[in-house]
Structures are given as structure tokens and as C-alpha cells.
Amino acid sequence: MAVGALAAGCGSGKSAQKAAPKMDKVSITYVQAPLNIPSIVEKANQSFEKKFKEKNITASYSTITSGADQTAALASGDIQFLNCVGGSSVLLSAANGNDIKIISLYSQAPKAFKLFSKDGSIQSAADLKGKTIAGPKGTILHELLAAYLQQAGLSMNDVKFVSMGLPAAASALENGSADCALLAGPLAYNVEKKGMHVVTTGEGLVSGLTVTAVSGKFYKEHKDLVDTFLAVQKETLDFMKKNPDKALEMTAKATELKPEAVKEMAPLYDFSMTITPEAIASLKKTQDFLVASGMMEKKVDVDALFVK
């Protein structure tokens, strides 16, 4: 971080400070799926609005959920904070030359990401050969599939992968146009309750890592606002710990799930925000997957993506 600070300070310190525009509003992504309890609690409590108001700044939400769209909006300056973006999306953005920095972890939930089949005879990775599998490309779920196939010495070329969003993938599974579907969150919960077969979860295959991020420029110019954001994240996690029933109630209302469903799914998610060596290592593993699968042409310095 010291090196970054020196680099940012090259030339006149005064002109560098003048260049930082005064902020009167910030935009933060609101991503509810798969089961982002902190975001739901923050919105219900108006946590960001209240905290930023203390600095005379208006905080508003953007409902962009696609990782690629989120990182594009961050790069253009339309959004200042990505409050839950997949690690793979950050890597792809960085590989495209965008200045993006991870400021905290959002969640890790390997067991929440699942591969389903309608046919109970599909029991192993080897059974997937030649099957049509629906799910979102370039995501944790896609990485799960590639890692699972690898266990049987197979690759993505051995299956017919059809890229689509989660609702469409769930429908494709149910109507039989896909043999398998990659799902997470309430959709995964619902199809499992309908009797669909869980072929595998992400446990032991992927970390299911999501993070929070800002642009490197914004971090240098407005570190005080980044600190404000992180303070809200910490306060939210404290609130969830002290008021688990209230957080559960808020989540059930926002997702239109039954409280017992939320209670059953919640333990699958670890919302610890502290950046750990294990998290950095898992992102490096994700990068290896993206490069090997041809979705990322060149590697980036993963360690440098995390603010120190």
C-alpha cells in the first residue's frame, strides 16, 4: 500500500488533491441473490443512506446484478461500490485493463452452489458426458462444473453447456430441455424441494467467493468513503449476530421465502469480511480455471487486487 501511495503522490501533492472531485452522492450495487442477508439487512435498515448522510452524501442503490455489467459500471464511474461481486468477475475486469480493487470479502458459500439433474441415475462426473447442462457462464457455478468434470478426467468440451441465467436454467431442468442445471440460492432450494437430484455441491470444488470492490482511483481519492462503507459492512454483520431472528425475518420478507427456508439455507453462507490468505489463494485457483477454460487470456497479479 505504501508503494501505491507513493505512486499516487508523484508530482505535486497539491495538484493530486485538487484532482479529487468532491462527492455528493455514491451508488452502491444491491445484489439480493443467492441469499445475500447482509445486503437485505442494510437495505431494510437504510444503513448506507444514514451513514453517508453524516458526510452530506446521498447513497443510492443500483440493481445491476450481472458481474460483467457491475464491473463495467464501476469502470465508467456510474457506480462507486460493488457490494457483492463474484471473484471471477473481478479477475476478468482486471484482465481487461480495468483498475479494480477488492476492499473486503462478502461471502464464501461453496455448499450453496449446486448441480442438479432430473434423472437420479446421474451420480458422478463421468455420468455427465454428452449431457446438456444449463447455467450462467463465467461464474462460480461454471467453475464448479469445470472442477467437477475434471475429477473424471473430463472437460467442458465433453458436455453441451448452454449459458443462461438461473431462472431460465431452473425452467430448462424442469421442462426437460436440459439434463442438468447449475443453481444457487432460493431457486436451488425450490428445485431441491420439488425432488430434483443434487449431483454435487461446490464443497471441495470451489470457494464460492464473492467480494466488495471499488476502482483503484476511487480508493486513492476517497479512502474516507471506503472506510465509511466498510464500517457499515461491519455494523451489519454485528447486527446479524446480535439479532439473528430479525435478520431472518427481513430476509424472508425480501425473498418471499418462508422463514424456515431462510433458516435452513443461512448456515451455508459465511459472510466474514476479513481478507484472508485462504481467500487470496482461492481467487488464484479461480484465475487458473478462467485461463484454462479460455475465458481469460492472460493472468493478473491477484495479490495486487486486494487493498492492503
Query: In this predicted model, what pLDDT tens digit does every residue of 188-208 receive, in sequence order?
Result: 999 999 999 999 999 999 988
Output DSSP code: residue 91: H
Which of the two residues, 111 and 9, has the higher pLDDT score? 111
Topology of domain 2-8+22-109+208-305, CATH: D-Maltodextrin-Binding Protein; domain 2 (3.40.190)
CB-side exposure of 140: number of CA atoms within 13 Å? 32
Instruction: Report phi then psi at 209, rounded to 5.
Output: -80, 125
Mean pLDDT of 237-252: 97
| 181/204 Cα distance (integer angstroms) | 19
* Mean pLDDT of the residues in the chain: 91
- The residue-averaged pLDDT of 168-172 equals 97
- pLDDT for residue 65 is more than 70: yes
**Would the pLDDT of 172 be above 90?**
yes
Confidence of residue 19 (pLDDT cuts 50, 70, 90): low
> What is the Cα 53 distance to its own chain's centre?
27
Delimit the domains of the chain by residue range.
2-8+22-109+208-305, 111-201
Q: H/E/C letters for each residue in the chain?
A: CHHHHHHHCCCCHHHHHHHCCCCCEEEEECCCCCCCHHHHHHHHHCHHHHHHHCCCCEEEEECCCCHHHHHHHHHHCCCCEEEEEEHHHHHHHHHCCCCEEEEEEEEECHHHEEEEECCCCCCCHHHHCCCEEEECCCCHHHHHHHHHHHCCCCCHHHCEEEECCHHHHHHHHHHCCCCEEEEEHHHHHHHHHCCCEEEEECCCCCCCEEEEEEEHHHHHHCHHHHHHHHHHHHHHHHHHHHCHHHHHHHHHHHHCCCHHHHHHHHHHCECCCCCCHHHHHHHHHHHHHHHHCCCCCCCCCHHHHECC
Q: Is pLDDT above 60 for 15?
A: no
Homologous superfamily (CATH) for 111-201: Periplasmic binding protein-like II (3.40.190.10)
- Is-same-fold flag (2-8+22-109+208-305; 111-201)? yes
Note the pLDDT tens digit of each residue in 23-59.
899 999 999 988 999 999 999 999 999 999 999 999 9
User: Which residue's C-alpha cell is 458422478?
Assistant: 124
Confidence of residue 10 (pLDDT cuts 50, 70, 90): very low
- Residue 18: predicted pLDDT: 52
Rounded to 5 degrees, what are φ and ψ at 273? -95, -10
pLDDT band at residue 3 using 50, 70 and 90 as cut-offs: very low
- Render pLDDT for 250-306 as a digit per residue (tens, 0 to 9): 999 999 999 999 999 999 999 999 999 999 999 999 999 889 878 889 999 999 999
Cβ count within 10 A of residue 260: 10
